[in-house]
């Protein structure tokens, strides 16, 4: 029979252990932080009715949608983000859930993107949101979660940049940019990337006069330097209040920056918006972005559901951690490798491994009685910290050879204490 070529689809990828281990560790950290703030996990189906995901009409994102008819003739599609399913979920279950509702959702999404831009068509999103409150406290906590998370994975040099969408729209209104506001905002969002001249040119390209674009940019700069405009002072006060509360909760001042150039591309944000940049790694972009919205689920319910939330960029964070050498250099999940080369003692090996696990120490027992060299080569390749070696002599004398694989040193230790359990010396050495 002819073999089938083993391959993955374009834009899709396998996670080998060396990629899956750090991703799992990062997700676990994120979960721990979310929970410590009382966020609750939810999950929704990967497949939904197409009309749910596209909002009936649907525009740009539609081209990227994986959609098809199921065998029952239903028009279905794979979710392309976790926000639309959240909106549907809250509309469907709001009475059971109760408000405010704080949820996190870590799950896979699919987009038929152009892979030439180095994008994947399947990736994991990691979102958290507080729904059903307009309180500033929820904005503050969103920023605190981002801060705690980056700290917990060892990143210290970063800024969370905050702005308020109303701030910019009010500015636009004062300068009579009442048309094409979304487009102008998208231009302002590019200030960092393409500079003032680029933004001015972009705004002119939208059909506005050059001097008006210049005026707008100048006003934006003046605001950033602390200039006063009555119309925006309230908005600035709230933003300043959020920042002060974040600092009061213990975040160093240099990590939270008001940045009026941040608009976030997405239309549904209506209040505070934020991005998180890693210092020294500008090319990675924002590793955590989000904002406040007035009405999450208006397509599905008349209940007005304001909220605030953000999305962690797992792939970007992992790339940053690799660059900053914060990833462990191992593809082992247990610290101890137990060599196996005396089949007469199979039960003894199994028992020792079980006893070490019962003491909280992970152990991988090699399954075959191969030569020690081959087994240690395997252990080394997998990145175990320790190798435990016991042959006929060791089983007789009740000792073991403990090899520290990083330092290539070996110690001889008693295997068991007087109580028959793993000896205190061995446990201490392995911890």
Which of 175, 229, 268, 300 lies at the binding interface for a copy of itself (CB under 8 A)?
300
CB nearer to a copy of itself: give 347 or 409. 347
Q: Cα dihedral angle (404, 368, 378, 402), rounded to 10 degrees?
A: 0
Decide: 412 and 401 in contact? Cβ < 8 Å: yes
Spell out the residues 6+ positions from residue 374 whose beta carbon is closer than 8 angstroms to its own: none
Indicate the residue among 25 and 284 with the shorter CB distance to a copy of itself: 25
Residue at token pair 């197409």: 50
> Cα 180 to the chain's mean position, in Å?
33
Q: Tell me which stretch binds a copy of itself (CB under 8 A): 48-56, 157-165, 191-199, 393-401.
A: 48-56
* Residue in the block written with tokens 């001042």: 253
Structural Rg of the chain based on CA atoms: 28
| Cα separation, 298 vs 360, whole angstroms | 50
Q: Which residue lies nearer to a copy of itself by CB, 261 or 423?
A: 423
Query: For residue 286, is it left (φ>0), alpha (ψ between -120 and 50) or beta?
Result: beta
Decide: is 37 part of the binding site for a copy of itself (CB under 8 A). yes
Q: Considering beta carbons, is residue 3 or 408 the nearer one to a copy of itself?
A: 3
CB of 214 to a copy of itself, least distance (A): 39
Residue with tokens 């506005």, as numbered in its chain: 208
Nearest 5°: CA angle at 428, between 423 and 429? 100
Tokens of 117: 């831009």
From residue 2 to residue 31, what is the string marking binding to a copy of itself with x (rule CB under 8 A)?
-xxxxxxxx-xxxxxx--xx-xx---x--x
DSSP, residue by residue, 137-193: HHHHHHHHHHHHHHHHTT--SEEEEEEEHHHHHHHHHHTT--SSHHHHHHHHTTHHH
Q: Is 214 a binder of a copy of itself (CB under 8 A)?
A: no
Among residues 174 and 298, whose Cβ is nearest to a copy of itself? 298
**3-class DSSP state for residue 233?**
helix
Cβ proximity to a copy of itself: between 148 and 189 the closer is 148
Q: Which of 59, 70, 230, 408 binds a copy of itself (CB under 8 A)?
A: 70
∠ at Cα 90 (86, 94), nearest 5°?
165
Count Cβ atoms below 10 Å from residue 165 Cβ, excluding itself: 23
Count of residues that bind a copy of itself according to CB under 8 A: 112
Site string for a copy of itself, 328-367 (x = CB under 8 A): ---xxxx--x--x-----xxxxxx-xxx-xx---xxxxxx
Of 132-140, 196-204, 272-280, 420-428, the segment contacting a copy of itself by CB under 8 A is 132-140
- Residues 216-275 touching a copy of itself, rule: CB under 8 A, are 244-245, 248-250
CB 253 → a copy of itself: shortest distance, Å? Answer: 14
Looking at 91-99, 175-183, 266-274, 420-428, which segment touches a copy of itself (CB under 8 A)?
Answer: 91-99
Shortest Cβ 224–a copy of itself spacing (Å): 25
Among 29, 55, 61, 229, binds a copy of itself (CB under 8 A): 55
Task: Check residue 4 and report its DSSP letter.
Answer: P
> Is residue 74 close enough to count as binding a copy of itself by CB under 8 A?
yes
Q: Does residue 386 touch a copy of itself according to CB under 8 A?
A: no
Work out which of 162, 239, 272, 297 binds a copy of itself, going by CB under 8 A.
297
Compare residues 202 and 306 and give the one whose CB is closer to a copy of itself.
306
Binding to a copy of itself, residues 138-167 (CB under 8 A): 138, 140-141, 144, 148
Helix (H/G/I), strand (E/B), else coil: 428:
helix
């Amino acid at each position: 029979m002819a073999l089938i070529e083993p391959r993955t689809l374009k834009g899709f990828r396998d996670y080998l252990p060396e990629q899956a281990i750090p991703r799992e560790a990062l997700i676990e950290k994120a979960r721990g932080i979310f929970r410590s703030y009382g966020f609750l996990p939810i999950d929704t189906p990967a497949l939904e009715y197409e009309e749910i995901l596209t909002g009936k009409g649907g525009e740009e994102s539609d081209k990227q949608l994986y959609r098809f008819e199921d065998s029952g003739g239903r028009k279905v599609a794979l979710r392309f983000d976790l926000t639309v399913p959240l909106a549907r979920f809250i509309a469907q279950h709001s009475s059971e859930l109760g408000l405010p509702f704080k949820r996190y959702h870590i799950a896979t999404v699919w987009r038929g993107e152009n892979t030439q831009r180095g994008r994947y068509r399947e990736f994991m999103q990691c979102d958290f949101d507080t729904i059903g409150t307009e309180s500033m406290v929820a904005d503050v906590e969103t920023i605190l979660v981002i801060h705690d998370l980056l700290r917990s994975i060892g990143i210290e040099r970063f800024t969370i940049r905050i702005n308020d969408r109303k701030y910019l729209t009010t500015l636009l209104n004062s300068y009579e940019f009442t048309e094409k506001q979304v487009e102008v905002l998208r231009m302002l969002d590019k200030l960092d990337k393409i500079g003032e001249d680029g933004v001015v040119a972009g705004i002119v390209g939208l059909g506005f006069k050059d001097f008006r674009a210049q005026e707008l940019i100048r006003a934006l700069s003046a605001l950033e330097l602390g200039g006063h405009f009555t119309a925006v002072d309230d908005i600035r006060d709230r933003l300043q209040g959020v920042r002060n509360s974040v600092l009061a909760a213990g975040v160093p001042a240099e990590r939270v920056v008001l940045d009026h150039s941040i608009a976030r591309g997405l239309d549904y944000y209506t209040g505070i918006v934020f991005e998180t940049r890693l210092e020294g790694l500008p090319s990675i972009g924002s590793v955590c972005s989000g904002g406040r919205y007035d009405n999450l689920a208006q397509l599905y319910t008349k209940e007005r559901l304001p909220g605030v939330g953000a999305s962690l960029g797992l792939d970007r964070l992992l790339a940053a951690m690799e660059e900053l050498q914060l990833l462990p250099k191992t593809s082992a999940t247990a610290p101890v490798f137990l060599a196996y080369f005396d089949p007469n003692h199979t039960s003894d090996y199994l028992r020792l491994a079980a006893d070490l696990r019962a003491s909280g120490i992970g152990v991988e027992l090699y399954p075959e009685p191969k030569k020690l060299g081959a087994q240690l080569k395997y252990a080394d390749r997998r990145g175990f910290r320790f190798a435990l070696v016991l042959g006929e002599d060791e089983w007789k004398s009740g000792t073991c050879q403990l090899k520290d694989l990083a330092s290539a040193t070996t110690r001889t230790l008693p295997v068991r204490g007087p109580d028959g359990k793993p000896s205190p010396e061995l446990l201490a050495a392995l911890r």
